[in-house]
Structure 1
Amino acid sequence: MTEGNELRGGVNVVRRVGDAVHRPATAAAPAIHRLLRHLRDQGFEGAPEPLGFDAEGREVLSYVPGDVHEALPPDLRTPELLTSAAVLLRRLHDATTGFAPAPEDRWLLPPRSPAEVVCHGDTAPYNCVVREGRAVAFIDFDAAHPGPRVWDLAYAVYRFAPLHAPTNPDSYGTVAEQGRRAALFCRAYGRPADAELLDAAAERLRALIAFMRAEAERGSAAFQAHIAEGHVDLYETDIAYLAAHRADLLSAFAEE
């Protein structure tokens, strides 16, 4: 990309300038930059490096080369992609265990108990950098917040397996195939796919819906547009799908 190119962004306008990315800074930016620096200090390089702030107050991060997809295309719906994303998430979580949040830290999403790790908060193909068919980095840590591992893992599985209803445009595969992919992701992460995971996925989506509605009511044009485009309807349909096919998914988990 050439200098000054605008990159994709679901909520923010993000621009690449040379080897750096300039993004609007949220109130959580100072805490997130401390987190990203901590990850570097722990030897985890699967995230952008924080480079400070520019003259306009935008946060500046290193550009991570590779491909990012809104949803996984057919050629990336592979065991290699799934397992590499799961291992990367586990490494990220493990690297955050020594991070000490400060009293003044502000997070976009509220911390959840138990605060076992710092969750990425939005682990999905659209925030995953891919090179040669493998996940190599996660980007966009705006939604990072302390929480339990399963809270973050469940959302990642929802996005990567994916655990979507057939009416969701990003859905593919049968319920059984989705369940087996979810189990593969979890096994690569290092914990079983189980009922707790399904419960966490549904609760994570309910929390996302509540957050989107609250932001829209506060005047966020981006979230108002997302709701108008039917994003909340998709999530509510997916919650119902998880409940309706709970037994099928649990059975598929046991097969993998």
Structure 2
Amino acid sequence: MGRDEQGRQVLEYVPGEMGAESGTYSAAELRSIGQLLAHLHEALASFVPRADANWNQVIPPDRKEMICHNDVAPWNLVRSDRGFVLIDWDGAAPGSRLWDLAYAAQSMAGLRADRPVPQSAARLRAFVDGYGLDDASRPALAAMLGRRARAMYDLLREGARQQRQPWARIWTEDGPYWLATADYLDAHRDAWRAGLE
């Protein structure tokens, strides 16, 4: 919410429940969260940061077309009286809509190796329909899902190699998950494309 007269960040506490476990949102909730991300991207599209802005960009994006949240996931979503609220903005930085959308769709819809492909495809479709992604961009999103998950895997692997926290800790907990997820998303790219048509 800006800074006070002493230069300190002013934050808002949002009462409510933290997001559901990844992949447990209903189709209606996925559409609603997809729409939330679309509204966020619409608002951020016209935002021009200061030229000397310093970003905490831990994963290089595919392109830098606008400022993105870069961690739209259940662990950063609060269900409040006023609806879903996105928190944890420390990773906001330049990126692209599709890069941000690919990560959000994978995490919110719970696209993972232990879920049947048809079920994942339907959940992906609900999220992307809520977002309102145009037909021409849908094949590119299907192709980007695996790349974006692999970028997370690479971040954790490199963080573990360099013993940088919290990445080294997360690597031990979730490294295999991200590799399996990236492989699953790449292996079924045609199913995601068909599901989004």
Q: TM tier, shorter chain?
A: 0.7 to 0.9
Higher RCO (CA-CA < 8 Å; seq separation 6+): 2
Within-5 A mapping of 1:154-173:
154-166=102-114, 172=115
2:13 aligned partner: 63
Greater strand share, structure number: 1
TM-score by length of 2: 0.84
Amino acid at match of 2:34: A
2:178 aligned partner: 235
In our comparison, the structure showing a higher alpha carbon Rg is 1
- Distance in 2, matches of 1:138 and 1:130, equals 9
Deviations 1:20-50 (A, max 9, x none): xxxxxxxxxxxxxxxxxxxxxxxxxxxxx34
Deviations 1:99-119 (A, max 9, x none): 112232121216646433311
Amino acid at match of 1:253: L
1:189 to 131, 134, 137: 131
Structure 1 residue 108 corresponds to structure 2 residue 56: yes
List alignment gaps of at least 5 residues for structure 1: 1-48, 167-171
In 2 relative to 1, CA 135–73 (structure 1 residues): closer, same or farther, beyond 3 Å? farther
Q: CA deviation at 1:130?
A: 1.2
Within-5 A mapping of 1:72-221:
72=22, 74=24, 77-109=25-57, 112=61, 114-131=63-80, 135-166=83-114, 172=115, 174-191=116-133, 192=135, 194-221=138-165
- Distance in 2, matches of 1:240 and 1:91, equals 30
In 2 relative to 1, CA 241–54 (structure 1 residues): closer, same or farther, beyond 3 Å? farther
Amino acid at match of 2:149: L
Q: Is the 8 A contact 1:128 1:135 kept in 2?
A: no
Q: RMSD in angstroms over aligned alpha carbons? A: 2.7
List alignment gaps of at least 5 residues for structure 2: none
How many residues get paired? Answer: 194
Aligned-residue sequence identity (percent) comes to 30
Q: CA deviation at 1:157?
A: 0.5
- Distance in 2, matches of 1:79 and 1:51, equals 38
Q: Is the 8 A contact 2:22 2:110 kept in 1?
A: no
